[in-house]
Amino acid sequence: MPFQFNDDSGRIVQIAELYATMQQAKTSSGSLVDRVYIKDGSGWPTLGEMIDMDQRVLVFVYNGQEKCTQVTCPPGVYDWFDVAAETDFQHESAAEISNDAVEACRITRGGSGSQDFFGINLFLQSPMQNASAVLNEKTFVEEHVKICSQLASLEPSLILIDFWGQGDVMEYVQEHNAAL
């Protein structure tokens, strides 16, 4: 769960505030915090291993006033761009993405760290539902992910989209994950 802290409203969201909210969110076995995986120094587990441990939530933060290098982050909260790389996210139209997939797949954020995770941004800078109907189609997503994966030599950890109910992107993600 990558949490983007936008400060557009003038209110500064603090990591401790997010964590407190997660502590209040109840699950069948306690709070959401009880399901957060805390890295032990070795590599990241697979999702199957996390499910077996009943710690199936990873929490990342970015774009806020605070970074885990500046404040002591609660256990299990990590800076997204310290471990992840992402493709470009500043697209004005679906045509811009489809006409120049190489540019759209260019890694523009993160990438200087270990690149344990790879996020493929497949949305417009200003969300538009009609564009998502095109961008979220299984065949489009499949081809775009293939191009981005080849260019980055990384498999995606996340495909970041707008309007997840548009198109059949969820079908693609299910099939992709099952093939791993």
Predicted confidence at residue 18, as pLDDT, reads: 83
DSSP for 22-43, please give it.
HHHSEETTEEGGGGB----SSP
Nearest to 40 by CA among 93, 76, 87: 76
Predicted confidence at residue 2, as pLDDT, reads: 76
Predicted confidence at residue 113, as pLDDT, reads: 57
Q: How many CA atoms lie within 13 A of 168 on its CB side?
A: 8
| 45 has pLDDT over 60 | yes
Residues in the chain, total: 180
Predicted confidence at residue 47, as pLDDT, reads: 83
R_g over Cα of the chain? 17
129 token code pair: 């539902």
| 168 has pLDDT over 80 | yes
pLDDT-based confidence at residue 30 (cuts at 50, 70, 90): confident
- Residue 38 CB partners (closer than 8 Å, separation 6+): 55, 75, 76
d(CA 108, CA 171): 27
Q: Cβ of 83: how many Cβ atoms within 10 Å? A: 18
d(CA 147, CA 154): 11
Predicted confidence at residue 119, as pLDDT, reads: 92
pLDDT tens track for 99-158: 999 999 999 988 765 688 999 999 998 888 999 999 999 999 999 999 999 999 888 988
